[in-house]
Chain A
Amino acid sequence: MSAGPAPRGASQHAPGTTHREEGQQARTGAVALSPAGPSSPPGRGARLTLTVLRGSRRFGGPVAGVAVGVLLVLLLQGNGFTSTLLLDMLVYAIAAMSLDFLGGYAGLISLGQAGLLGVSAYGVAIAEVHFFSPWAAVGIGLGAVLALGLVMGIAAVRTKGVSFVIITLALGQVLWGLAFQWVGLSEGDNGIPLTILPSLGPFDLNDPLTLRMTVLIVFAVVALLLVTIVHSPFGLSLRGVRSNETRLAALGYRTGLHRYLAWVIAVFFTGVAGVLYIFVNQLISPATMAFSEDGLLVIMVVLGGLGSIWGPALGAVVIVLFQQELSIYVTRWQTLMGLTLIAVVLFSPGGLWGVVRAAGRRRDALIARLEARQARPAGPGQSGAA
């Protein structure tokens, strides 16, 4: 009798003794009641289904990711409305993902993110107005938002929960107010246009196709970085700080520092989204930083699914689509959006990604059931069949 862990999928050997298989044996009882009947051996169809399901569990995510990536590359080739829409979606997806990192993993939902997005965009535009080179302007934009994040964080992460929301809202509005009223610096309501984008040899962001591919690549890099951070030890302890701060503090974790770092990371990536925003739109005005925009980012995150990184990207896609496309057909789309947020909060706190996750759980349950059926002592003809 082998005592070692049986490899996944090696269920055709003699009745095993590992824990996993015992569990599956126990669940077989339930399967036996299914219409298929206890005597029917697992057919070719069932085995094929199982293989497909297992494959989707192991490779589904990466394959879907690559497929979406290829689709995006193809769609972004054109100069038409579609690629403009997609670029907006990608930019807001970056902002939504970084807000989700802050809200979903550190438990700090910020209602001032649109303001921070505006800071880096304004940083780039204002630097160019003052005759800095385009690359220097990008550095100034990112540097400005990072410096601001480092300072704001000192005040902001002293609080959490509802107070944090209110404080970030207030700080975000300060930024909006400056953009709106400090006409000498920000040109006020008219905003500042950006005429020249950075270029380096053959790599020229003024070329629309290069710009579109760059946005796509930056999106992918930010997404993968955030996912990596989330699954790193830092990401895990961050979740610990969110769910039981006292305990983590007692264990010797510097909980305040965790929140501060999470805030700075999120602010920086929001700044990256801001730089891309002005590259894509070539104009930044206070409207981008208004309170309703702060709210839209939060709606993207909650609709997509708080604490899932990919979900909020999906949320950004849906909201931008709503805002720019469906608003032509649905006059009262804002009402619809507000009601959708309320409905998500009430009935589906996991958001869209929660639906995807539920489907994944159902698949895993199905795999377990099929495995259990195969693991059952098979009929005489079946034993030994590889």
Chain B
Amino acid sequence: MQQFIAQTLNGLTLAGIIFLVSSGFTLVFGVMRVTNLSHGAVYLLGGYIGYSVITATHNFFYGLVAGALAVGVLGLILERTLITWLGGREMAELLATLGLIYVLDDISLAIWGGTPLTINLPGVLGRSVTLPISGIVYPNTRLFILGVSIVVALGLYLLLRRTRVGAIIRAGVDDREMVGALGINVRLVFTLVFTLGAALAGFAGVLGGTVLGVYTGGDSDILLFALAVVIIGGLGSFEGAIVGSLIIGLAETYGTAYFQAVAYSIVFIPVIVILLVKPEGLLGKVTR
């Protein structure tokens, strides 16, 4: 029982990291119809940058901010150059971002090498705590990650539901031509969403680096989780990303704990079920 509770907490932690990555991916798709396959590579790059800044400054939080900001700027540049040049051709965007994976991964490999790196949290965050009732000794790092992802999720929820910018983004998901016709600067919204998505991925990269590590190939792992999430939750749905992240995070953790031989593949069972039963995803709209 104790082990099950610990595994559940592990699953929720993983779900938190996956959510940070997939929410950006799904928002970018929802608003811009861009399938950014390099989202995982951006996540990994954020982790690496965070690692370097933490090593240099000995301050985890500087690293967290630097990782998010640096790849946020990268996202801004990409949106203004590559994505704009491609002019909304969905398949061309997908293929170009596929090419971008090889470029970003190779650059990361050149700078940081192939040895897996781990980010350690400072002070009390790096220690463990005995949880009440169950008496499980659990690392603070994971609790911290869980807390931060909940805060970010709440922040994003409020941004999308309670602010003007959020209303514009949600309207963009529903009907972006209409948003443009209403005199709203859609270009600016695109840039904002893409930058935000990249920054979230970089943020998740630094956070995830503490428990998952920063390693070559970590990008495709997280990208696949994000893709599984958006298939389950529905492409473009923010709430779907929350539900999907919980399902995938828990499925992956239980799978690793209890079904070693098929752990990775078990994650995709809900994906296949959803595809057969409700191809547009749990909370997705019927695609055009």
Segment of A77-85, A287-295, A373-381 engaged in the interface with chain B = A287-295
Q: Tell me the smallest distance from the CB of B104 to a CB of chain A, in Å.
A: 8
List, in ascending order, chain A residues with CB within 8 A of B261's CB. 181-184
**Nearest CB on B from A180, distance (A):** 7
User: Would you call A345 and B260 a contact (CB within 8 A)?
Assistant: no
Q: Main SS of the interface on chain B?
A: helix
Residue B139 CB within 8 A of the other chain: no
Chain A 161-195 near chain B by CB (<8 Å), digits 1 or 0: 11101110111011011101111100000000000
Q: Looking at the assembled complex, report how far the CB atom of B37 sits from the nearest CB atom of chain A, in whole angstroms.
A: 8
- What is the distance, in angstroms, from A366's C-beta to the closest C-beta of chain B? 32
- Complex CA–CA separation, A254 to B82 (angstroms): 38
In the bound assembly, the distance between CA atoms of A339 and B38 in angstroms comes to 13
Per-position binary interface string of chain B over residues 95-131, scored 1 when its CB falls under 8 Å from any chain A CB and 0 otherwise: 1101111111111011000000000000000000000
Chain B residues positioned under 8 Å from A173 (CB to CB): 224, 264, 268
Closest to A341 in B: B99
Task: For A334, give its contact among B92, B105, B272, B279 (CB under 8 Å).
Answer: B105
> Nearest chain-B residue to A342 (Cβ)?
B99
- A345-B99 contact given A162-B90, A170-B231, CB 8 Å threshold: yes
Q: Is B228 an interface residue (CB 8 A)?
A: yes
**Does B8 touch A at the CB level, under 8 Å?**
no
Q: For B235, what are the chain A residues with a Cβ–Cβ distance below 8 Å?
A: 163
**A11 close to B (CB within 8 Å):** no
Question: For the complex, is B265 an interface residue (Cβ under 8 Å from A)?
Answer: yes
B86 interface residue (CB < 8 Å to A): yes
Q: Say if the beta carbon of A231 comes within 8 Å of chain B.
A: no
State whether the Cβ of A340 lies closer than 8 Å to any Cβ in chain B. Answer: yes
Interface status of B137 (Cβ within 8 A of chain A): no
B265 touches A342 (CB 8 A): no
| B110 / chain A contacts, CB cutoff of 8 Å | 331-332
Q: Which of B227, B264, B279 contacts A177 (CB 8 A)?
A: B264
Q: 1/0 per residue B74-88: CB within 8 Å of A?
A: 000000001001100
A159 at the interface (CB under 8 A from B): yes
| A280 to B279 CA separation, bound complex (whole angstroms) | 39
Cβ-defined contact, B35 with A165, below 8 A? yes
Question: Are A155 and B276 in contact (CB-based, < 8 A)?
Answer: yes
Contact: B227 with A180, CB < 8 Å? no
Evaluate contact between A109 and B275: CB separation under 8 angstroms.
no
Q: Place the interface of chain A in its size category.
A: 35 or more
Contact with A along B218-235 (1 / 0, CB 8 A): 001001100110110001
- Chain A proximity mask over B255-288: 1 for CB below 8 Å, otherwise 0: 0000011111101100110011001000000010
The answer to whether B85 touches A346, judged by C-beta atoms less than 8 angstroms apart, is: yes
Is the CB–CB distance between B262 and A155 below 8 Å?
Answer: no
Among B35, B96, B224, B230, point to the contact of A341 (Cβ < 8 A): B96
Q: How far is the CB of B262 from chain A (nearest CB, A)?
A: 6
**B275 & A167 in contact (Cβ 8 Å cutoff):** yes
Closest to A166 in B: B227
Residues of chain A from 328 to 386 with CB closer than 8 A to chain B in the complex: 331-332, 334-335, 337-342, 345-346, 349
The contact size tier of chain B is 35 or more
Residues of chain B within 8 A (CB-CB) of A291 are 220, 223-224
Q: A299 an interface residue at 8 Å Cβ cutoff? A: yes
Is the beta-carbon distance between A181 and B99 smaller than 8 angstroms? Answer: no
Question: B265 near A181 (CB under 8 angstroms)?
Answer: yes
Q: How far is the CB of A228 from chain B (nearest CB, A)?
A: 27
Contact A295 B262 (CB under 8 A): no
Q: How far is the CA of A271 from the CA of B85 in the complex (A)?
A: 37
* Alpha-carbon distance A181/B259, docked complex (angstroms): 10
Contact status of A181 and B85, CB under 8 A, knowing A155-B275, A162-B91, A170-B231: no
Closest B residue by C-beta to A349: B92
CB < 8 Å neighbour of A302 from B33, B35, B95: B95
Given contacts A161-B90, A163-B235, A181-B260, A171 and B268 within 8 Å (CB-CB): yes
**Is A57 an interface residue, CB under 8 A from the partner?**
no
* A276 within 8 Å of B (CB atoms): no
Per-residue CB contact flags for chain A residues 248-275 toward chain B (1 = under 8 Å, else 0) read: 0000000000000000000000000000
Q: Does B94 contact A (CB under 8 A)?
A: yes
Chain A, 287-310, CB within 8 A of any chain B CB: 290-292, 295, 298-299, 302
A292 near B220: Cβ-Cβ < 8 Å: yes
B residues whose Cβ falls under 8 Å from a Cβ of A: 33, 35, 82, 85-86, 90-92, 94-96, 98-107, 109-110, 220, 223-224, 227-228, 230-231, 235, 260-265, 267-268, 271-272, 275-276, 279, 287
Residue pairs across A and B with Cβ atoms less than 8 A apart, 9 shown, are A161-B91, A163-B287, A173-B268, A174-B264, A178-B262, A335-B103, A338-B100, A341-B98, A346-B96
Given A162-B35, A166-B230, A299-B98, 7 further pairs, Cβ under 8 A: A158-B275, A162-B33, A178-B265, A181-B261, A298-B95, A337-B102, A341-B96
